[in-house]
Amino acid sequence: MDVLSFVNSKDIREYLHEIDYKCDSMQAAWLVYQSADKTMEEKHAAYRWIIDNMPDCPMPKRRFAVARESLHAFLQEHMDFCEKHKAQIDRNQYLENLTDDEQDLYRDAFESRWYCFPTPFRKGDLVHLFWENPHKHRCCGGVFVLDNIANNEEDIKRCVHGDTSDMNAYGWFQDPDGTVYNEVMFNYMDLVKFKGELYGQERLLIAISNFVQGKLEFELLLQSQRTLMMRDYGESWMPNWYTDEGMELAGLSKLPKMTKRQKKANRLRRRREGRYYT
């Protein structure tokens, strides 16, 4: 069985196949559990394959997960619980009525542990969660510029007692108004590379990406931010704040495009006025 087929991110899944990555038993079980598109029947078939074909191991105690002597025994208990209660993949925390033991059996034993996987992403990549609209900017959401991922040796030492909420990616995100901020998100295993087009102030992320990779000077980054902000302000924000009549009276509606001859004349005029040094 191809356990890596349960990886949600197409980019990470292909990369792990490319490097012939071998999961340990705990990693394999977690990948099966967290899959977003596999059915319960497919997941249980994978659990049975893990029991039959991969080494057993203990499950150490974690802050929100009890210690268990056998992963294989736990997987069988987990499947029995799901089949007995006809558990569905879709979960609603407001409808759950589980005891602490049942919650550990159904979810916490998986989610209260930290897992480390290699990824194909590099600093400066434009990435987003595979399931979301990359243009819908929210708190730590939408397409962002990657800084780093918590999967190096120092992270392993620090997060060995962590959980899935510590499977972080750090980067530069953007608010709907274009404001850029540095934050952290999880789960990095759900990230994919952004391959679309960026619009308006979103295009500032292109400049940030090239800047953090050392391809762009700081001055040009600032010029990019200023230019894109003013352009978006004039085209998108002002028409929502002022009436059409007001925009026309201010000379801001139906702006004519300058011809090449006009642009050349404008440059010459500015040079004569001393606005350019050359």
Per residue in 84-143, pLDDT (tens digit) is: 876 554 455 544 555 555 565 566 788 888 899 999 999 999 999 999 999 998 889 999
Q: Does 275 score more than 70 pLDDT?
A: no
Domain of 87 in residue numbering reads as 3-111
pLDDT score recorded for residue 94: 44
Are both 132 and 232 inside the same structural domain?
yes
Residue 268 covered by a domain: no
Are both 144 and 59 inside the same structural domain?
no
Residue 255 covered by a domain: no
Are both 124 and 237 inside the same structural domain?
yes
The mean pLDDT of 165-182, rounded to a whole number, is 93
Please report, for residues 66, 150, 228, 258, the alpha-carbon distance to residue 62 in angstroms, rounded to integers and kept in the order given.
Answer: 6, 19, 48, 66
Q: Does 18 score more than 80 pLDDT?
A: yes
Are both 190 and 164 inside the same structural domain?
yes
Residue 277 covered by a domain: no
User: pLDDT higher for 33 or 151?
Assistant: 33
Q: Which residues contact 85 (CB under 8 A, 6 or more apart)?
A: none
Are both 200 and 237 inside the same structural domain?
yes
Asked if residue 50 lies in contact with residue 25, where contact means CB atoms within 8 angstroms, the answer is: yes
Burial of residue 229 (CB within 10 Å: 0-12, 13-18, 19+) is: middle
Residue 263 covered by a domain: no
Are both 138 and 206 inside the same structural domain?
yes
pLDDT score recorded for residue 75: 96
- The last residue of one of the domains, among 111, 136, 154, is 111
Q: What are the beta bridge partners of residue 192?
A: 128
Burial of residue 99 (CB within 10 Å: 0-12, 13-18, 19+) is: exposed
Residue 274 confidence class, pLDDT cut points 50, 70, 90? low
Residue 40 covered by a domain: yes
Are both 63 and 124 inside the same structural domain?
no
Reference 173, options 207, 137, 209, 203; nearest CA is 137
Residue 142 covered by a domain: yes
Asked if residue 115 lies in contact with residue 177, where contact means CB atoms within 8 angstroms, the answer is: no
Asked if residue 32 lies in contact with residue 136, where contact means CB atoms within 8 angstroms, the answer is: no
Are both 34 and 94 inside the same structural domain?
yes
Residue 65 covered by a domain: yes
Look-up: residue for tokens 């609209």?
133
The mean pLDDT of 194-220, rounded to a whole number, is 95
Give the count of domains, the chain. Answer: 2
- The last residue of one of the domains, among 88, 111, 134, is 111
Are both 149 and 103 inside the same structural domain?
no
Are both 131 and 99 inside the same structural domain?
no
Residue 277 confidence class, pLDDT cut points 50, 70, 90? very low
Are both 156 and 94 inside the same structural domain?
no
Residue 208 covered by a domain: yes
pLDDT score recorded for residue 198: 94
User: pLDDT higher for 131 or 64?
Assistant: 131
- The last residue of one of the domains, among 111, 139, 171, is 111
Are both 80 and 141 inside the same structural domain?
no
Separation between Cα atoms, residue 40 and residue 46, nearest integer Å: 10
